[in-house]
Amino acid sequence: MAQMKVLSAARKQAFNSVPKLTKEATLGYFTLDLETKKILRKMQSDVAKVGFLVSKAYFQAKGRFFESSRFFAADIKRASRVLALNHAVDMDKYTPEMATRHRKQILAQYNWQAYSNETAALLALHTDSLVSIRMNKEDILFALVSFCWMRRVEIPSYNQFVDIISIGFQSYETRMLGNRSPRPY
C-alpha cells in the first residue's frame, strides 16, 4: 500500500529534521542542572557525556531522539564547551547501546514514557475520534503531536504517525460503508 501523504515534502522534511537550536535555546538546553550533572558524573567517556548532552537538548526541543550521525557539529562543539573539554570528540564512537541507555535516562529525567505499542494504541483511539469529526490529515498529525506532549510520550516518527492516521481513515471508511442501509427499490 502506498503511504498516505499527510504533509508536503518540505513540511515532512522539517518534521523529521534535527532541531536547529537558536542561541537562546541552547543556553537553556545545554545548561547543566543538578540532575544532569549527577548523570554525567557517572559516565566514563567524553563521547558518552557529549552524546548525552546533545540528545537531551534535541529531546527538549522536539520530544524525540535522533541518531548521532545527524547531530550538528555546532551542537557537539557547544556540548564539549559546556563540559569544558579541550579536545575534539569522535561521535563515531557514540554507540547505539550508549544512545539507548541515554534515551532511557533522559525519558526518566523528564518523567516521559517511551513510545510503545500501548501508546500507539492510545494514539490510534485519539485518531479515530479526530477522523470521525472530519479533521484533515495535517491537523490530525499535529493534534497527535500535541497529545504526545500533553501525555509526556516520546514523539514517534513521521512514518509512524502516517501509519496511525492511515489506519484511522481506513477504519472510519469501513465503519461508514458498513452502516449504509440498502436502497429500497
Q: From first to last of the 185 residues of the chain, give the pLDDT tens digit.
A: 557 899 999 999 999 999 999 888 888 899 999 999 999 999 999 999 999 999 999 999 999 999 999 999 999 999 999 999 999 999 999 999 999 999 999 999 999 999 999 999 999 999 999 998 988 999 999 999 999 999 999 999 999 999 999 999 888 888 878 765 555 55
Which of 75, 81, 80, 82 lies closest to 45 in space, CA to CA?
80
Up-side HSE of residue 104: CA atoms within 13 Å toward CB? Answer: 5
Which of 184, 102, 185, 106 lies closest to 152 in space, CA to CA?
106
Rounded to two decimals, the pTM is 0.88
Residue with cell 529534521: 17
Contacts of 179 (CB under 8 A, 6+ apart): none
